[in-house]
């Protein structure tokens, strides 16, 4: 009976150690936690997508809530963004292909022709964006 209990404890310990940190698996790089707010001309922007693209192409995404707050997710349940420099895009998500002549209400300098950048450091990062039309 005692042997079975010891085996069970070893199995549980092995399973817990295989889960890993940040939930992203062994190939998940070091991440910094990133939260912030997005506003346009002083008003919070709700339901927009915030994307941090690292120099090697790895991206983290978040969607703003009604108050313009976002939190980035790297992959799966791994929260944050890769440590380092990022090009940032902020855009309105579409549920279907846009109609001809569609123009995102967010200016191109923040999405398709973004000028936004951010540096993610280890630990907690609060990165706010104040956009203007």
Query: Which residues have a Cβ under 8 Å from the Cβ of 132 and sit 6 or more positions away?
Result: 40, 41, 107
pLDDT digits (tens, 9 = 90+) for 42-85: 999 999 999 999 988 789 999 999 999 999 999 989 999 999 99
Give pTM, 2 decimals: 0.77
Q: 26 pLDDT exceeds 70? A: no
Can you give the pLDDT at residue 7? 45
Which domain covers residue 86, as residue numbers? 27-94+104-131
Query: How would you classify the pairing of strands 73-75 and 81-82?
Result: unpaired
* Count of domains observed in the chain: 1
CATH code of the domain covering residue 122: 2.60.40.1120
Q: Calculate what percentage of the chain has a pLDDT beyond 90.
A: 64
Task: Tell me, yes or no, whether 19 lies in a domain.
Answer: no
């Amino acid at each position: 009976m005692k042997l079975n209990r010891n085996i069970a404890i070893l199995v549980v310990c092995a399973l817990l150690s295989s889960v890993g940190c940040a939930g992203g698996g062994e190939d998940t790089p070091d991440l910094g936690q990133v939260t912030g707010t997005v506003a346009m001309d002083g008003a919070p922007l709700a339901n927009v997508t915030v994307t941090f693209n690292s120099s090697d192409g790895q991206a983290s995404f978040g969607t703003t809530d009604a108050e313009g707050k976002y939190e980035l997710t790297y992959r799966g349940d791994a929260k944050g963004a890769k440590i380092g420099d990022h090009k940032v895009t902020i855009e309105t998500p579409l549920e279907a292909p846009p109609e001809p002549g569609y123009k995102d209400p967010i200016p191109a300098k923040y999405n398709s022709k973004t000028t936004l950048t951010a540096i993610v450091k280890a630990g907690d990062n609060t990165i706010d964006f104040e956009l203007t039309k």
